[in-house]
């Protein structure tokens, strides 16, 4: 599969097939892709917590929020929750920079979700949670600060990209059949001409 196809397939999934587990080896492979990704000044301060047990999933699901623009839907719907998570943490023993490695977290999150897409899995990158409460819930060492949570599993959603004209809303939405639409600006509208 070409990288552009993987990128198109790599959408934020909020409904999962709970009968399809994500194995430890699959999680390790995703983390390995993250580990090999670029890192600012090659400091590599990120560490990863992999979770795919019912007990671990219960510690995460109540702390995260899906689809802020569709809050009335209360996603994920019961019975369609993620079956695994990867929590991306900054090891403050390596670097205490408060914002210096947020770029790295974004880079590795993309690597993880692309690896998941290649495996036929869906993912959703989540940043709306309390790092302190997440660290406490997972009983992480004091030097580990959660930055992002990636929800994982086999998608049951129909997600479609739609091109929009300049000035149209970029808010994602669902139709009456539950089809999820992701508006994207046109290529010509995002390339800036210069002289």
For residues 144-158, give the mean pLDDT.
Answer: 97
Counting Cβ atoms within 10 Å, is residue 108 exposed (0-12), middle (13-18) or buried (19+)? buried
Q: Is 153 helix (H, G, I), strand (E, B) or coil?
A: strand
Q: What are the tens digits of pLDDT across the range 41-96?
A: 999 999 999 999 999 999 999 899 887 778 887 888 899 999 999 999 999 999 98
- Structure confidence by residue, pLDDT tens digits, 97-122: 878 789 999 999 999 999 999 999 99
Closest CA to 81 of 19, 5, 33, 134: 19
- Model confidence, pTM: 0.94
- What was the pLDDT predicted at 96? 87
Domains and their CATH numbers in the chain: 3-157 (3.40.109.10), 159-194 (2.20.180.10)
């Amino acid at each position: 599969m070409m990288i552009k196809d993987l990128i198109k397939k790599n959408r934020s999934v909020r409904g999962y097939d709970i009968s399809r587990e994500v194995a430890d080896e699959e999680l390790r492979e995703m983390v390995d892709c993250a580990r090999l990704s670029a890192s600012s000044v090659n400091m590599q301060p990120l560490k990863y917590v992999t979770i795919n047990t019912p007990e671990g999933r219960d510690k995460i699901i109540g702390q995260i929020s899906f689809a802020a623009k569709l809050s009335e839907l209360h996603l994920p719907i019961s019975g369609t929750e993620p079956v695994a998570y990867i929590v991306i943490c900054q090891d403050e023993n390596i670097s205490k920079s408060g914002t210096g490695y947020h770029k790295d977290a974004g880079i590795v999150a993309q690597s993880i979700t692309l690896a998941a897409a290649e495996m036929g899995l869906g993912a959703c990158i989540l940043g709306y949670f309390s790092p302190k409460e997440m660290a406490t819930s997972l009983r992480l060492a004091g030097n580990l600060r959660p930055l992002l949570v990636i929800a994982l599993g086999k998608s049951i959603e129909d997600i479609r990209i739609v091109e929009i004209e300049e000035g149209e809303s970029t808010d994602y939405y669902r139709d009456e059949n539950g089809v999820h639409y992701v508006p994207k600006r046109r290529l010509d509208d995002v390339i800036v001409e210069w002289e």
